[in-house]
Amino acid sequence: MTAVLPSDSLAGQAGELAHVASRRDGRRSGTPRVAKHLRDNRTAYLMIAPMVILLSIFVIWPLIYSLYLSGFKISFYKDPEFVGFQFYQYVLESPKFWQSLGVGLAFAAMVVPAGMLIALLIASFIKTLSKRLASFMKTTVYVPAVVSTVVASVLFVFMYQDQGVVNWFLSLINAGPVAWLNNPGTALPAIAVPAIWLGLGITTLIMLAGLLDIPDSYYESAELDGAGFVKRTWYITIPLLKNILLYLFVTGFTAALQMLDLPLVMTNGGPVNATTTPNLFIFNSFRDGTPYSTSFSLTAALLLFVVLGAISVLVFRLINSDKAVDG
């Protein structure tokens, strides 16, 4: 950071001096003045400076340093040993790493589409309500968003117990009890439910904002043509919400793929690694306590960064984002 700023300021100073000199020559005036566009530039640089500095300290530098460190076998008690790309090979060869990515993708596939669909239905419903009722509903829907993930995890662990409310419902139809969190087949969907619930508030509000932006005249004319709710949603709402849906899909997908707290608290990655999401895999690798584990978890984290970036690019490619459609 300190290496960037002086050279930046030197370049700026040199440019400014040259400019001032040329103006002095041209106008032969006594007081140097700075061109407006340069002043604008300076204001712009000053305004983005805090962000750039913070990003450099907390993101860019750690990233570069992590890349450097990933080439070493790190021990906190011995000198680091240079091993080149060995840990990249180890991570890529690890069946658990790929399994965790699979778990992360399956988790995202359960949480994101279901969450968006439910949010769209709720948002469409809220739109039809009176103002007072709508504001009550908006608050109600938003409540889970302010609940801590850890609190929600504990709450759902209780609900999934043998004597919990979920198995109580099953007992009404003479089924169960199901070991929701201790069965490899049901554990991941059981964790997806609180994830959907927690994300519902924000998704619904963003969708509602998008819905309210669609002119009522579209719906009115469609209604005159005899279009029902499904047709109106399919031909008007969804196409006009495309940018919002894309945004929600990409952010939801990356967030779901990076889920850590729910499986950590609810199942600790079990049973038989069925809920070990990529971040939990990295965290557990770090907690392993061997010198091997430090570099391994670091490298796995860097590779996850690449995978997440690639998935986001892919999503953007598949769903071409249009510029805002004029309403």
Partner 1 sequence: MHKRRSKVLLTLAAVVTASLALAGCTAGGGGTTADGKTEVTFWQQKFEDYQGVWFKKYVDQFNASQDKIKVNYQVVPADTWTQKLQAAQAAGKQPDIATTNYGNIAAGVVDGKFAALDDYMPADVFADIKDNVSSFVTIGGKHYAYPMLVEPSTVLYYNTDMVKAAGLDPNTPPTTWDQLIDWSKKLTTGDVKGMTIASTAPDLGWSSWGLQYNACGHLPISDDWSKANATDPCYEKLLNLYKTLYQGNLIPQQPKVGYADGSPYGSGEVAMMAGGSWVIGQLKTDFPDMLAKTMVTAFPSWDGDATRTTATLGGWTLTLDSKSKHPQQAADFIKYLLAGDPAIMADFFKAAGYSKYTVRKSVDEALASDPNASADPFMKIISDKVVAYGKQEPGYPWDIALAMGTAIESAMKGTDSIQGSLKTADAAINDVIQKQSLAGTAPKK
Residues in touch with partner 1 (CB under 8 A): 1-2, 5-6, 9, 12-13, 16, 34, 75-78, 90, 94, 160-162, 177, 179-184, 268, 270-274, 283, 286-292, 294
Q: What's the token pair of residue 228?
A: 């029902």
CA distance to 113, 181, 321, per residue, from 313 (Å): 18, 34, 12
Cα within 13 Å of Cα(106), Cβ side: 17
- How near is the Cβ of 46 to partner 1 at its closest, in Å? 8
| Alpha-helix runs per DSSP H in the chain | 4-27, 36-55, 61-69, 86-93, 95-127, 131-146, 149-160, 165-172, 187-212, 216-224, 229-232, 238-240, 242-257, 261-266, 278-286, 291-318
When the beta carbons of 92 and 238 are compared against partner 1, the nearer one is: 92
When the beta carbons of 42 and 231 are compared against partner 1, the nearer one is: 42
When the beta carbons of 86 and 312 are compared against partner 1, the nearer one is: 86
- How near is the Cβ of 73 to partner 1 at its closest, in Å? 10
CA distance to 105, 176, 186, 200, 283, per residue, from 257 (Å): 6, 30, 18, 17, 14
d(CA 170, CA 162): 10
β-strands 72-73, 81-82 pairing = antiparallel
The CB density around residue 308, as the number of other CB atoms within 10 Å, is 16
When the beta carbons of 249 and 286 are compared against partner 1, the nearer one is: 286
When the beta carbons of 185 and 239 are compared against partner 1, the nearer one is: 185
- How near is the Cβ of 67 to partner 1 at its closest, in Å? 17
d(CA 207, CA 203): 6
- How near is the Cβ of 77 to partner 1 at its closest, in Å? 4
Are 112 and 252 in contact by the 8 Å Cβ rule? The answer is yes
Rg of the chain, C-alpha, whole Å: 27
- How near is the Cβ of 310 to partner 1 at its closest, in Å? 26
When the beta carbons of 96 and 242 are compared against partner 1, the nearer one is: 96
When the beta carbons of 179 and 236 are compared against partner 1, the nearer one is: 179
Q: What's the token pair of residue 23?
A: 């103006």
When the beta carbons of 77 and 82 are compared against partner 1, the nearer one is: 77
- How near is the Cβ of 144 to partner 1 at its closest, in Å? 24
- How near is the Cβ of 307 to partner 1 at its closest, in Å? 21
- How near is the Cβ of 91 to partner 1 at its closest, in Å? 10
CA distance to 75, 240, 268, 305, 307, per residue, from 70 (Å): 12, 45, 26, 14, 17
